[in-house]
DNA sequence: CAGGGCGCAGCATTTTATGCCGCACCCCGT
DNA sequence: ACGGGGTGCGGCATAAAATGCTGCGCCCTG
């Protein structure tokens, strides 16, 4: 038994492949994982329906679109009661420019990732958050100068099997 | 052939759509952006070739695969000479478990994102980096407890037009 | 050893991808 | 204003892929 309840080796190969080539044809995918198209498609549909695959997306090169600003922002909430977290989360998810939200352990509460037109745009979003009742005690911004790499996939092969390969 | 004004409104709609539905059929995409399939496909191919679209990927639900560890790590290099940065970057890109690398302004140099099997796995990777000559002066780890949301797309519509729509 | 269920390959049909063609529109030069 | 050239679009024909159906072999179980 490899992973959780119902994923075999072939399922993992499918996930790994689709993670890196999301628009591969089912015919090619089937060949890559050693199945014929029919059962391969069946598995993909099953993985989608079961929630292992939550969607597909093109990787758009932001830098080619223009000069935009990416910022990682550390946020500390002023209160840490039941509800303060969910309230904060439910509000920021509506802000398009906040593309990621992580609750972390350590010196602060949330690590957010922003994508904005520039510093003034970013600043206006932050100010809006401070003025409204988001429950923010303090924040700190780390402007991204460059992203040497962003792999759009995690190492499925390393997360499994590595121990008894 | 300057890289800027090569994209018209339709191109942006294509990018926005593919960002969120990377496996949409060309027929549906064409309909969504108001073109017939032929010119739509031509544009997509052009956007891919020109580097606006760098690839496609499935969004795999890591949590459903098991209990894994995601960590954001702040790294400060010991030296900041020409070459120290590129050397560091060229080495860490080879580590599968490091899925993102951002050079930031502020209190440290790099913000890295790790995905590992657990703390011991993460620790072994970090130790390997410290023992080898990566040029790391110090680091700090922020373990991700939960990721309330990760949008796999940035707000193309907001980054444009908002100012002169 | 026999019965039942599951997953796979093969096949037929529908849908999509892709390349080709002629037409309309726009920009330019005359 | 008129004519020529280039670009991009829609329509059409063909190749390829997606999809649903069917029968077979394997494995578990009694």
CB contact set of A68 (below 8 Å; sequence gap of 6+): A62, A115, A116, A117, A118, B154, B159
% of chain B beyond a pLDDT of 70? 94
Chain A contacts of B18, Cβ < 8 Å? 57-58, 60
Fold of B9-58: Arc Repressor Mutant, subunit A (1.10.10)
On average, the pLDDT of chain B sits at 94
**pLDDT band with cut points at 50, 70 and 90 for residue B145:** very high
User: Thinking of the domain A62-143, which architecture would CATH place it in?
Assistant: 2-Layer Sandwich (3.30)
Sequence ranges of the domains in chain B = 9-58, 62-143
Dihedral Cα B18, B22, B25, B29, nearest 10 deg: -10
pLDDT at A6: 76
CA B42 to C1' D10 (Å) is: 13
Pairing status of strand B69-77 against strand B136-150 = antiparallel
**pLDDT band with cut points at 50, 70 and 90 for residue B6:** confident
Q: What is the 3-state secondary structure (H, E, C) of B89-139?
A: HHHHCCCCCEEEEEEECCCCCEEEEEEECCHHHHHHHHHHHHHCCCCEEEE
On average, the pLDDT of chain A sits at 94
Interface contacts A/B by beta carbons within 8 Å:
232
**Which residues 24-83 on chain A approach chain B with CB closer than 8 angstroms?**
50-62, 64-66, 68, 70, 72
Tell me the helix, strand and coil percentages in chain A, rounded to 5: 40, 30, 30
Asked whether strand D has any atom less than 7 Å from the CB of B43, the reply is yes
Mean pLDDT throughout A63-89?
96
pLDDT over 90 (residue B3): no
The Cα–Cα gap between B85 and B55 comes to: 26
Q: Please choose, from the candidates A68, A70, A74, the residue with its C-alpha nearest in 3D space to the C-alpha of residue A147.
A: A70
pLDDT over 50 (residue A85): yes
CA A165 to C1' C12 (Å) is: 42
Identify whether the C-beta of residue A113 lies closer than 8 Å to the C-beta of residue A99.
yes
Measure A134 CA to nearest chain B CA, in Å.
16
pLDDT at A157: 92
């Amino acid at each position: 038994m490899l992973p959780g309840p119902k994923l075999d080796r072939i399922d993992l190969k499918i996930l790994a492949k689709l993670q890196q080539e999301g628009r591969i044809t089912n015919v090619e995918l089937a060949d890559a994982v050693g199945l014929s198209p029919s059962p391969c498609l069946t598995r993909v549909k099953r993985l989608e329906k079961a929630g292992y695959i939550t969607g597909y997306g093109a990787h758009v090169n932001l830098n080619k679109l223009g000069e935009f600003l990416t910022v990682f922002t550390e946020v500390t909430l002023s209160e840490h009661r039941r509800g303060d977290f969910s309230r904060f989360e439910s509000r920021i998810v509506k802000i398009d420019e906040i593309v990621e939200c992580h609750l972390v352990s350590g010196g602060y509460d949330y690590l957010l990732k922003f994508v904005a037109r520039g510093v003034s745009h970013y600043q206006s979003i932050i100010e809006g958050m401070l003025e409204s009742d988001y429950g923010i005690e303090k924040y700190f911004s780390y402007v991204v100068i460059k992203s040497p790499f962003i792999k759009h996939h995690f190492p499925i092969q390393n997360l499994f099997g590595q121990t008894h390969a």
